[in-house]
Amino acid sequence: MSRYSRAFFELQWRFAERVAAISSSPLEVALLHYTNFYIRFGLGRQFDANHSVWRIYIDGLTDAADPVEWTWRFFLTREEMPPPALVARFGCFSYAIASDTAIRLHFSNIDSPAYSPLSRKRIDARRAELRALFEHVMHANPSTQRVLGTSWLYNLPAYRRLFPLAYIETARELTTRFQNMPLWGQFLDRYGNVRPDMQTYFLQRIAQHRDMAAIAQCFPFRALATDVSIAVFDGFYDAS
């Protein structure tokens, strides 16, 4: 079973349609720059409009009776690609090399659907994963000086409580993450379905606004970037 529902693609499709209408650009351009489709199709992060697989997708839209259905079916034929420079996974967390001296944290729900990965019951499990992750960084990448993150999740108290306060306090808003899960992930529940309340709110708001700056503000949460010295994590998970 896919981790992402058809509704997740439909929501993004509708956003791209709105962007195309407002900015008077071709829908094809909006689909490339304002949805997470390219990454979800496992094409990397070059966002090359001439990528052969992307062309198959775009050309298929011409004949598709239902373009959202075509998009969803196309996604189901594709293999997921891990984030760039991924080093190791520890349950829901993983990290990648961001530069010679920095790592980037990633979150992806692989917990049992019986409970939220962010629930109180799973705090100990999440902290144990982070402890293992930082131990791995210390041994495998000892030159690491900084820890980076980018996600809408840093808005949620249920996520923030997993990290040192000094890390969370560095969170800064990013405005250009329309192609990435750090923005779109906010619409998902743990089953890969779209949250109905957030969908309604979002679609109503994008229908009301007529310029690109305003439409970017229609997302309930912003993507936030974090960046702190790795020293802040020293001993933080030892009590886990």
Ligand X SMILES: CC(C)(COP(=O)(O)OP(=O)(O)OC[C@H]1O[C@@H](n2cnc3c(N)ncnc32)[C@H](O)[C@@H]1OP(=O)(O)O)[C@@H](O)C(=O)NCCC(=O)NCCS
| Contact footprint for ligand X (CB under 6 A) | 107-109, 116-119, 151, 153, 156-158, 181-182, 185-186, 188-190, 195, 198
Closer CB to ligand X, 144 or 186, in the complex: 186
How far apart are CB 119 and ligand X at their closest, in Å?
6
- Which residue's C-beta sits nearest to ligand X? 185
> Residue 195: CB partners within 8 Å, gap ≥ 6?
187, 188, 189
Which phi and psi angles does 132 have, rounded to 5°? -65, -40
Closer CB to ligand X, 97 or 156, in the complex: 156
How far apart are CB 55 and ligand X at their closest, in Å?
27
Helix, strand, or coil here: 68?
helix
Neighbours of 30 (CB within 10 A): 21
CA–CA distance, 41 with 98 (Å, rounded to integer): 23
Closer CB to ligand X, 53 or 123, in the complex: 123
Closer CB to ligand X, 91 or 117, in the complex: 117
Closer CB to ligand X, 184 or 233, in the complex: 184
How far apart are CB 45 and ligand X at their closest, in Å?
14
Token pair belonging to 158: 């249920």
Chain centre to alpha carbon of residue 197: 19
How far apart are CB 11 and ligand X at their closest, in Å?
13
Closer CB to ligand X, 71 or 94, in the complex: 94
Mapping DSSP onto H, E and C, the string for 14-26 reads HHHHHHHHHHCCC
How far apart are CB 91 and ligand X at their closest, in Å?
13
CA–CA distance, 16 with 240 (Å, rounded to integer): 43
How far apart are CB 26 and ligand X at their closest, in Å?
28
Distances (CA, A) of 171 to 29, 160, 162: 30, 10, 14
Helix, strand, or coil here: 78?
coil
CA–CA distance, 230 with 134 (Å, rounded to integer): 9
